Amino acid sequence: MLLLLAILVGVLYGAAVYLLLRRNIFKLILGLIFLGHATNMLLFVAGGLTSGRPAFLRGLEGEAIGMSDPLPQALILTAIVIGLGVTAFALTLVYRFYKVTKTVDFDELSENE
Amino acid sequence: MILVLPIILPLLFMVVLIFTRRWLAFQQGFSIFASIMLTFVSFLILIDVQQNGILAIQPGSWDAPYGITLVADLFSAIMMTTTSFVGIIVMIYSPGFIDKERQTAGYYPLVYGLLMGVNGAFITGDLFNLYVWYEVMLTSSFVLIALGGSAEQLRGSIKYVTINFVASIFFVSAIGILYGQVGTLNMADLAAKMRTWDEPMYINSALMLFFIAFSVKSALVPFFFWLPASYHTPPMAITALFAGTLTKVGVYTMFRFYSLFVVFDQQFWTIFILTLAGLTMFIGVLMAASQFDIRKILSFHIISQVGYMIMGLGIFTATGIAGAIFFTVHNMLSKTNTFLAGGLVYQQSGSYDLKYLGGLYKAKPFLALLFFIPAMSLAGIPPLPGFFGKFFLIKGGFEAQQYFITAVAILTGLFTLFSMVKIWNEAYWKKEPEEVKERGKVHPSALIATSLLAAAVILMGIFAGPVIDICLQAGEQIVNPEMYINAVLKR
């Protein structure tokens, strides 16, 4: 499972970098989304995987040792929310850019006024 | 509990300002009042920390390694006070510079969002919380830089948003790797655990990721291209606010992390940081000298000045750090001041392009003076604070026997003078060109704000002694991270 997730993180990062290097600004945003998700998965894997042990105790009795760590999941949750906000803003930005310049090509970003 | 105020107050102000968005006069008045209050609170914290040592509180009542800690040492208190002071100036300046559409479209609440993020980043003691404050700050700045939505601004903001998002990704991945290894997010606890750690590999890779993230945000050499490509696009008041605060948060975080987390391979980090510092200051100033737009010259110049601050970090003695802190404070004031003076030039002559400017010294000598003071301070001419900052940095460099970087710093000083004199000659000194753009009038509130800031720069030069004393104490705290660790973990 660990190996599988590690490969998935790698593939996501690869896809993100590929998309970031495209000429189309919309694909750049897709690249940013992939990059965010790759990092969320990285946080998840780096936090340590524990299978079959839930991250909470029933009542107050029970051992905390061997339980899966809830903190990375909380961090990912925060990171997802922040990523969502930034992505929404970036999409709006690109849409406005398209409305103003009628193109989504990177060349339009250079200043030749 | 005074430590929560720098975060809670801007949040409250923001809420008030969002709901009163349409009442322009109220927005303008209230935001000046609010920024003065914020500065007052930060100043109280500064005095408190100076007298009683490092302050640390646990807002959620969870003890140190588990809950989120807020910590203020002298460095963070100094940075907070300076930031909110810059806030006052920009708030006075804005009504006279930013058009009504932008002002009623949420400019004022966004500025307080930005200040909340900056203050949060200065006083948090938790790694992930730091990331959240960074995002609060950046998201506000994203909207501020795009506010108004002209084609030029949109171009700038796409670059700005992309590069900052990627840098944040580096930041979060480093947090993930570090947490996976060490198992804590409290910065003091992390630092304490790292000091007894015997596996440097993962820690070094996480530190390198952190370093890349913060060098993007503070515009160090290989990662600086986004800054001059985006900073000149929004109205000058916004650019001035960014120039005075944002890159300095990156610098602050780098100082904090270096002090707390660099326990392995110090030799490597010293050489690495000093090399980048030298390249940053030199390349930045050369690129500044080759530009013809006031905003672009000043933007490239920010990069060069960040090099000086990082040089103090590379030296890492109390003198070097004190010099860097003094330099940072001076830079936040003077740099903002040059940008604001540039804005006055624009109001007067209708252009930022040096080709269309000229004769301002003859027409408006007071405007010329307002640019002359911070420009000479940046160049490091004696009675002004820039001189003392550079003096202590160079003194620290000699004491630490880092002769090469010191030589580069002195050489860069000459080029700084050159690039400032270039603006001076072209915009103020030479004769007015034949084809002039439409003339305007300088708004009194913009003029008052710029004069106040110029007065603050002069005062900082006159009272350099006491300021340097506080900076030296702050430097001691940075060089001895045990003080920070013990204050947070109550040992």
Q: Nearest Cα to B94, choosing from B404, B445, B395? A: B445
What is the average pLDDT value for chain B, to the nearest integer? Answer: 91
Long-range contact list for A92-97, CB < 8 A, 24+ apart?
A93/B146, A93/B154, A93/B157, A93/B158, A93/B161, A94/A25, A94/A26, A94/A28, A94/A29, A94/B158, A96/B146, A96/B149, A96/B154, A97/A25, A97/B151, A97/B154, A97/B155, A97/B158
* Shortest alpha-carbon distance between residue A85 and chain B (Å): 9
Interface check A39 vs B, CB under 8 A:
yes
pLDDT band of residue B149 (cuts 50, 70, 90) is confident
User: Closest to B154 (Cβ–Cβ): which among A89, A100, A113?
Assistant: A100
What is the average per-residue pLDDT within B23-33? Answer: 92
Residues of A in contact with B353 (CB under 8 A): none
* Whole-number pLDDT of residue B238: 94
Q: Name the residue among B155, B166, B180 with its Cβ closest to that of A111.
A: B155
Q: Which residues, 6 or more positions from B458, have their beta carbon under 8 angstroms from its beta carbon?
A: B373, B383, B384
Which of A5-14, A53-62, B246-255, B460-469 is the least confident region?
Answer: A53-62
B351, B301, B337, B342: which is closest to B92 by C-alpha? B337
The confidence score (pLDDT) of residue B350 equals 82
- B62-84 burial: b if 16+ Cβ within 10 Å, else e: eebbeebbbbbbbbbbbbbbbbb
pLDDT category at A113 given cuts 50, 70, 90 is very low
Q: Where are the domains of chain A?
A: 2-49+69-106
Model confidence pLDDT, tens digit, residues B54-97: 999 988 888 878 889 999 999 999 999 999 999 999 999 999 88
Which residues, numbered 54 to 73 in chain A, qualify as contacts with chain B under a Cβ-Cβ cut-off of 8 Å? Answer: 71-72
Residue B135 near residue B165 (C-beta atoms within 8 A): no
Phi and psi, residue B261, nearest 5°: -105, -20
Per-residue pLDDT, averaged over A41-57, amounts to 78
Per-residue tokens: B14: 């923001």
Q: Do B161 and A111 touch (CB under 8 A)?
A: no
Closest-CA residue in chain B for A75?
Answer: B128
Distance from CA of B151 to the nearest CA of A (A): 6
Annotate B90-137 with DSSP letters as a single string: HHHHGGGTS-HHHIIIIIHHHHHHHHHHHHHHHHB-BHHHHHHHHHHH
Contact criterion met (CB < 8 Å) for A97 and B158: yes
Containing structural domain, residue B217: 2-489
Contacts of B180 in chain A (CB under 8 A): 45-48, 72
The stretches of B350-479 forming alpha helices (DSSP H) are 360-363, 365-379, 385-399, 403-423, 444-462, 464-479
Q: pLDDT > 70: what percent of chain A?
A: 85
Are A48 and B180 a contacting pair at CB < 8 A? yes
∠ CA B71-B75-B79, rounded to 5°: 100
pLDDT at residue A112 above 70? Answer: no
**Which residue, among B134, B136, B154, would best test binding to A if mutated, counting the most A CBs under 10 Å from its CB?**
B154
pTM of this structure: 0.93
Q: How confident is the model at residue A9 (pLDDT cuts 50, 70, 90)?
A: very high
Strands B70-72 and B55-57 turn out to be antiparallel
Would you say B161 and A90 are in contact if contact means Cβ atoms under 8 Å apart? yes
What is residue B2's predicted lDDT score, i.e. its pLDDT?
Answer: 86
Average pLDDT of the segment spanning A15-29:
92
Rg (alpha carbons) of chain B, rounded to whole number: 21
- Distant-in-sequence, close-in-space partners of A62: CB < 8 Å, separation ≥ 6: none
What mean pLDDT do residues B206-216 have?
A: 93
Least confident of A31-40, B6-15, B175-184: B175-184
Q: How confident is the model at residue A111 (pLDDT cuts 50, 70, 90)?
A: low
* Residues of B with Cβ-Cβ distance to A36 under 8 angstroms: 165, 169
- Name which of A25, A45, A75 is nearest B128 (Cβ-Cβ): A75
pLDDT at B257 over 50: yes
What pLDDT is recorded for position B308?
92
Number of domains in chain B: 1
CA nearest to B216, candidates B250, B175, B239: B250
**B201 falls in which pLDDT band (50, 70, 90)?**
confident
Contact between chains at A47 and B176 (C-beta distance less than 8 A): yes
> Do the chains contact at B162 and A109, CB–CB below 8 Å?
no
Decide which of 1.10.10.10, 1.10.40.30, 3.40.50.12280, 1.10.287.3510 is the CATH code for A2-49+69-106.
1.10.287.3510
